[in-house]
Amino acid sequence: MTRAATGVRSLNYATSPLLASKTPPWRSRFVVVLVGLAFAVLLGRAVHLQIWATDFYRAQGEKRFVHKLSLPASRGRIFDRNGLVLATSVALPSVQVDAKTFAADVAQRKTMARLLGMSAAELDQRLDGATGVVTLRRLVEEPVWREVQALGLRGVQEVREYKRRYPEGESAAHVVGFTNVDDKGKDGIELAFQSQLEGRAGQRTVVRDRLGRVVEDVGDQADPVNGRDITLSVDSKVQFFAYQRLRDAVRQHKARAGSVVVLDVHTGEVLALANYPSYDPARRPKLSADPMLNPMRNRALTDVFEPGSTMKPLVVGWALETGRVKIDTVIHTAPGSLVVGPLVVKDAHPHQALTVQEVIQKSSNVGAARIAMQMPARELWELFSNVGYGQRPQITFPGAVTGRLKPYKTWRPVEQATMAYGYGLSASLLQMARAYTALARDSGDVIPVTLLRQEQGAVGLHVFKPETTRELRKMLQLAAGPGGTGPKAQTIGYSVGGKSGTAHKQEGKGYASDKYRAWFVGMAPIGTPRIIVAVMVDEPSAGQHFGGDVAAPVFSEVVQQTLRMMNVAPDIDVKAQISAKPVPAELESF
């Protein structure tokens, strides 16, 4: 042990052959070259990152931390003619979750799902596997968002979006229309004036931290440009009252549907346009498989039907205008029927003879047909075209239809006869109301209708001379009075004139024997009319179906309320009207 230890300690390392060998110079140079290459690679990489690839990596960094936030524009408001709001937008939170940072236990998830109106399974399905920001619920109410915030969950955030409010609800739904969840107009005025109402969104560039919180604004902010407000011709009070009276009539007569239109005679403004059934624009219903039962259907503009006896004043008016008859000209209507080709035209009450004004008062089909047969087909066709039949109404509103008016060259004698009392052509209720502006205005012109407020009177297409319109209004007053078909149209304090109508509904290629449409179109005060009111009730089935029984009472109530709201002075002694006894109506021919 001692010798070995002594031997080890006495070893001379300097004389070791291994350590004494010289290192080749190329090795050290190789190491230096390797180190130099490494630094060159690092330097090249740094130059690449800092000079050539700087834009790419800056963009990658911005993708992770810099975000462009859209600043939504507030949609323009819709006002009635008196400045009352029909549609407006409110900013509400949409709840979002950053799936990367979101953390919640089972109980918290269940609570959050309940607040947002979804099941816990649906919430899990939306979040599991997600990597970015997930929108859980759009446009929640403020109290709901405050409850979600109170949970204190990480990764939950909000963005503000606009939601449409409709204060008038179902009464004005068919005028105002509605928007979808993206605040885009889908019907009514909301659709018709989409470009003016929607505005232009702005933009804000921000830096978010890893938790999704905004920590800094970057660059200049582009502010949103709010949409333009629209002022309508509609009077919300008249609209609401007309809707209520129509709704009550449809329910009372167990009808399928109904519509009412109120026009200003001076300007052509639509003061009210209501349909029943209706809907709440903020809560659209599920659509029925039958489109005719769709409550969102704007029947006053989209539904066309044969206008029935409301055509008779136009035909008689043209006969007066052209000098073919006078108001006291006698028309032979015996024996209460007239054979025209394959058709027998009949009156509900046979008369031996009627004057021209009695043809309107008694609503004689035979009398109207005889008068129409005196005229060339082309003249009648031009008359109907001039008052708007067979033409799409020039109104800025979606869905307005043309109706049907055949070319006069294809008319057969039987068609010319039936058109005199409203069969063989079709029109919407709005077209019927507009046609009566030619009777209501002393100038005898039919004027365009509008849903936008107008400050000046309208100018239209001349149809009748002033003396003709005055004579026609006297006839319409008789038709709505004692011995006429529409005495229930009488209104306390105001003189009225108008024409009732009743027609069998078309069903397939024929007519249903037990299905009717009833309407009344008229004006008031009759001396110098201020408004035109048109009412239609579809398929009344509670025992009454004549326009004078079903639609005329709605006309009466709407006229009285509207003229009072417009501060039009009464032109009839109210006491005399109240003391008068009810007058039986003439049975209407249809």
Instruction: Return the residue matching tokens 């630094």.
Output: 39
Give Cβ neighbours of residue 367 (< 8 Å, ≥ 6 apart): 331, 333, 347, 354, 356, 358, 359
Catalytic residue set: 309
CA 227 to chain CA centroid, Å, is 18
Residue 178, strand partner residues: 187
Burial 355-378 (b: 16+ CB within 10 A, else e): bbbbbbbbbbbbbbbbbbeebebe
CA dihedral sign, ordered 139, 140, 146, 147: negative
Contact 278, 325 (CB under 8 A): no
3-state SS assignment for residue 146: helix
The two tokens of residue 13 are 């390392």
Q: What's the rounded Cα separation, in Å, for the pair 277 and 259?
A: 9
Q: What's the rounded Cα separation, in Å, for the pair 487 and 482?
A: 6
Give Cβ neighbours of residue 403 (< 8 Å, ≥ 6 apart): 304, 389, 390, 391, 425, 426, 427, 428, 431
309 residue type, one letter: S
- Give, as one character, the DSSP assignment of residue 258: E
- Burial grade of 60 (CB within 10 A; 0-12, 13-18, 19 or more): exposed
Residue 446, strand partner residues: 461
Cβ of 147: how many Cβ atoms within 10 Å? Answer: 15
21 to each of 14, 24, 26, 29, 31, how far by Cα in Å? Answer: 11, 9, 15, 18, 19
Which residue, 144, 81, 80, is CA-closest to 113? 144
Number of alpha helices (DSSP H) and beta strands (DSSP E) in the chain? 23, 21
64 to each of 46, 96, 207, 575, how far by Cα in Å? Answer: 22, 18, 9, 81
Instruction: Return the residue matching tokens 């936030």.
Output: 69
